[in-house]
Amino acid sequence: MNMKVDIKKFTTSIFRDYLVLVAILALILVTMVVEPRFMSTQNMTNIFRQFGPLSLVSLGMTFVIIGGFIDLSVAGIFSLVCVVTVSLIDPIGQVPAMIVGLLVGIVCGLLNSFLLLSSGALTQAEALFITFGMSMITGAFALFITGGMVLNFSDLAGNFALFTAIGSGTVGLFPISLIIFSVALVILHFFQSKTIMGRTICLTGGNKTAARLTGLSVNGSIMMIYALSGFLTALGAINQFSRTTTASPTMGKGFETNAILAVVVGGTTLKGGKGSVLRTLMGTMLIILMSNCLNLLGVSSFMQNVTKGAILVIAIWLDNRKPL
Amino acid sequence: MSQAASAEILSVTDVSKSFPGVKALDQVSFSVKRGTVHGLVGENGAGKSTLMKILSGVYTKDSGTVVFDGQEVPSTTPIKSMNMGLAIIYQELNLVNQLSVGENIFLGRFSEMGGMRGVHAKGRELLDSIASKIDTHKLVEELSVSEKQMVEIAKALSFQSKLIIMDEPSSSLTSDELKELYVIIRELKSRGISIIYISHKLDEIFDLCDTVTIMRDGHVIDTRAISDLTRGDMIAKMVGRTIENEYPPRANKVGEILLEVKSLNTLKLNDVSFSVRKGEILGLVGLVGAGRTEIVRALFGADKTRGHEIRIDGKPVKIRNPKDAIQAGFGFVSEDRKLQGLVLPFSVEQNISMASLQKIAPKGILRKSLEKAIAEKHVKSLAVKTPTIKTKVVSLSGGNQQKCIIGRWLETTPRILIMDEPTRGIDVGAKYEIYILMKEIAESGGAVIMISSELPEVLNMSNRVLTVYEGRITGEFDPIRYSADRVMESALGFKGGAEA
């Protein structure tokens, strides 16, 4: 009897662990059969390019969620970084503009953590609202800077070869954006599993009180996760406008929900403590493939949102039924 | 059979309940006669709370039968049992602080009472019937603990309860309030209402109860009329062994002063000063909320203080947060294992290593082999029962979880180990092992500051006892020379204690 239960537990845990992978494979197979255009070079390039921005934002979100919090401000920060960077290319040159863009991300992230820490907000719900407020503020700044206009690379006088390279350049077969992502993934995986700071973030997410009473720097990890999220969002934003060669002040819209979706579907628990960037990689792949397939199959965008919502709900439901 | 049903309000037959890894109740049987006060005693973990939670419908029994008021109750829920006439008043009272007294009594039944006016009128009636003068419009958060208890009793009466279970009702009452409670309980009894009275305080059991059921390790050991029992019998049945081997011999290598604390002040503490010697186990005794935990938390930098002076080996140290405290040589086994100590979804290994991350990451990079060595060392030396060190700590028993936390601190080689309720919810065997560890820490030249709600434990383990009452230290005792009653009087704020 006990044996039976164990086997059942074992199979369900295997099933859950690889559920995302199975879903990805199933999706690819079905779409390949139904819609041969899926395998075209053009579509593959398309998928790779879409992958860059969302996956980077999701990597940052992974740490925020592992640390026991949430970050809705990525939408606003994303838009702000887009317009700030592009509008600075002419005045100060492309490299300084990129550096400023990344700094804007980090500073906004630190501001999030500062607001949380100084107000003593230590729950996910409070973080949800504070970062939502930050998203509105940064998003509004983005609109303010451009006066609501869209900035086009074609209107720029200066050199923007760096961004063109990020957007559409390749090294051998590999798009540069994919290389950026892979490097980030490897570094972050190492950071999480091998460094004191990474472990501290996980423990903080697992039990803040216990972490603090064990002398771990809980405040430090909160600052770290939001700064990291801001930085990776900025990196994602740069990736995005480099690909589209335009920067609109509402470009970040939807990235917060999609990033959370990617993290949770990947199997990182919203309860904090446990999860990994590798899971997020799978989650992101699933989200992007799914929207690509649904597009190819001509499913309306309303219906696509229904699917996304349903997947999020199911992922959280499965997570909550999992024993600790 | 029908006669038995009418004489007994409750009869429990062969009820068992298991949780993963523990048999909490094993074929428990006892019955409560109508209109009597029935005492229920036993050590922590004896199964009293589990049994009460089965009766009130919080847990479901695995097997056995429960007959209440002549009818078999196959399964129940908290609401069903309330309506049936079985009320339970928990130690941590179950009231909504932000609502008024009247609203709390009739929570969820406002319309049946004819709106708010009816709620307050009927609430008044019920409170009058137990001679309580609490204004029904007052918010519950403004009430004292004993007043809250009155509200709970009124609430129980509003359901026409035939049986009221009181779980440790006296644990935070003053002696005057306790006398009031006695009066009310006798009044309820005269109305034919039965009471199950759970308490650790044997005096109360002898004062109040007609019959008493003694539990130990999930079994009912005996049910007897109170007049057939002596205090000694009762204790022997509760602990199931002689008292001599419950505690190891006292630590006996007390040396010079290690820690001096002067004028520790916080919102709840008033000018607390004391010192601890090398090799000493210092016990802090007081009621829950008296400030015991606040003292050690402030000392450890976990709570904000309003200025204080701490010296270790005569040298002043500054402690602003737990990190400073750990560096100064403190360790802290906190009161609530699950909420404040363990990171439940993490492994035994990671829970043990978490106070020593610097040690297992010499250059900032975690070395798994070092972590594993540390975890294995403590799992072995503390005899932690776990399948592997990779097992999640959540699946261990309370005693083994506590050992993981102790291992975590031993790895930091603390000079002063603070232990707040170190044996709460731990079975007898594991308790003894923890006592031995405490003694070893003290005798190796460190010091232990221990807090416990179990007076015998503090008195038997400590070299010196301080009593805490309303945020102040009210007395200092040598537990060998003074009786438990003297210590308790001081902890209840009666008068200053004697110098040890």
Closest to A58 in 3D by CA, of A237, A267, A255? A255
* CB < 8 Å to B361, chain A: 195-196
Strand extents, DSSP E, A81-216 = 151-152, 170-171, 174-175
Higher pLDDT, B21 or A282: A282
pLDDT, position A251:
93
Which of B332, B345, B350 comes nearest A324 by C-beta?
B345
For A67-94, b/e burial (b = at least 16 CB within 10 A) is: bbbbbbbbbbbbbbbbbbbbebbeeeeb
Q: Is pLDDT at B425 greater than 80 in this prediction?
A: no
**Average pLDDT taken over every residue of chain A:** 89
Nearest-CA residue of chain A relative to B324? A215
Mean pLDDT for the stretch of residues A168-176: 84
pLDDT tens for B266-320 read 888 889 999 999 999 999 998 777 889 999 999 999 998 887 899 999 999 999 9
Three-state DSSP class for A152?
strand
Q: What is the pLDDT of residues B316-327, one digit of tens each?
A: 999 999 999 999
- Asked if A206's CB is within 8 angstroms of B343's CB, the reply is yes
Average pLDDT over residues B126-138: 88
CB-nearest partner of B346 from A193, A206, A216:
A206
Residues of A in contact with B370 (CB under 8 A): none
pLDDT tens digits, A200-241: 999 999 999 999 999 999 999 999 999 999 999 999 999 999
Residues in B touching A267 (Cβ below 8 Å): none
Q: What is the mean pLDDT of residues B167-179?
A: 78
Residues A211, B340: C-beta atoms closer than 8 Å = no
Cβ-based contacts under 8 A for chains A and B: 77
Closest partner residue to A213 (CB to CB) among B340, B345, B361 is B340
Q: What is the pLDDT of residue B109?
A: 84
Closest CB to B361 among A196, A203, A217:
A196
pLDDT of residue B429: 65
DSSP letters for A84-109: HHHHHHHHH-HHHHHHHHHHHHHHHH
pLDDT at A14 over 80: no
Q: What structural domains does chain B harbor?
A: 2-242 (3.40.50.300), 246-491 (3.40.50.300)
- Residue with token string 């040690």: B359
B394 interfacial to chain A (CB closer than 8 Å): yes
pLDDT above 90 (res B110)? no
- What is the tens place of the pLDDT at every residue in A104-135? 999 999 999 999 999 988 888 999 999 999 99
Find chain A residues with C-beta within 8 A of B357's C-beta: 196, 199-200, 216
Q: Is the pLDDT of residue A9 over 60?
A: no
pLDDT for residue A10? 58
Q: What is the pLDDT of residue B417?
A: 95
Measured CA to CA, the distance from residue A66 to residue B208 in angstroms comes to 53
pLDDT band at B5 (very low <50, low <70, confident <90, very high): very low
The candidate with the shortest Cα–Cα distance to A192, out of A204, A201, A184, A181, is: A201
The whole-number pLDDT of residue B66 equals 92
The answer to whether the CB atoms of A212 and B361 lie below 8 A apart is no
Query: Taking Cα atoms as reference points, which of B397, B297, B417 lies closest to residue B355?
Result: B417
Q: Do A213 and B326 touch (CB under 8 A)?
A: no
What pLDDT was estimated at residue A12? 58
Query: What tokens were used for B479?
Result: 């537990």
Residue B242 CB-density burial (10 A; 0-12 exposed, 13-18 middle, 19+ buried): exposed
Give the residue carrying structure tokens 């075209």: A40
Give the pLDDT of residue B499: 42
Would you call B1 an interface residue with chain A, using a CB distance cutoff of 8 Å? no
DSSP 8-class letter at A243: H
Chain A residues whose beta carbon lies within 8 Å of the beta carbon of residue B408:
214
Residue A197 has pLDDT above 90, yes or no: yes
Q: Which residue of B has its CA nearest to A272?
A: B345
Mean pLDDT to the nearest integer, B359-370: 91
Instruction: Give the chain A residue whose CA is nearest to the CA of B337.
Output: A210
Q: Does A206 touch chain B (CB under 8 A)?
A: yes
- Please tell me the distance in Å from B326's CA to the nearest CA on chain A: 7
The ipTM assigned to this model is 0.86
B79 — pLDDT class (breaks 50, 70, 90):
confident
**Given this model, what pLDDT does residue B495 score?**
56
**What are the boundaries of each domain within chain A?**
48-256, 276-324
DSSP designation for A272: S
Query: Measured between CB atoms, does B109 come within 8 Å of chain A?
Result: no
* Binary contact (B357, A196; C-beta < 8 A): yes
Least confident of A11-20, A167-176, B189-198: A11-20
Task: Report the sign of the C-alpha dihedral through residues B116, B117, B122, B123, in that order.
Answer: positive
Q: What whole-number distance in Å separates Cα of residue B357 and Cα of residue B310?
A: 26
Q: What is the pLDDT of residues B488-498, one digit of tens each?
A: 778 877 654 44
Give residue A23's pLDDT band: very low, low, confident or very high (50, 70, 90): confident
Question: Which residue from A195, A203, A213 is facing B364, i.e. has the nearest CB?
Answer: A195
Helix axes A218-244, A196-206, angle to 10 degrees: 100
A193 in contact with B, Cβ within 8 Å: yes
**Among partner residues B323, B366, B408, which is closest to A199 by beta-carbon distance?**
B366
pTM summary value: 0.74
Measured distance CA(A275)–CA(A266) in Å, rounded: 9
Q: Which of A183-192, B83-92, B166-175 has maximum average pLDDT? A: A183-192
Query: Which of these, B226, B223, B233, lies nearest to B32 by C-alpha position?
Result: B223
Query: Are B300 and A217 in contact (CB < 8 Å)?
Result: no
Distance of CA B263 to the CA centre of its chain: 29
pLDDT band at A198 (very low <50, low <70, confident <90, very high): very high
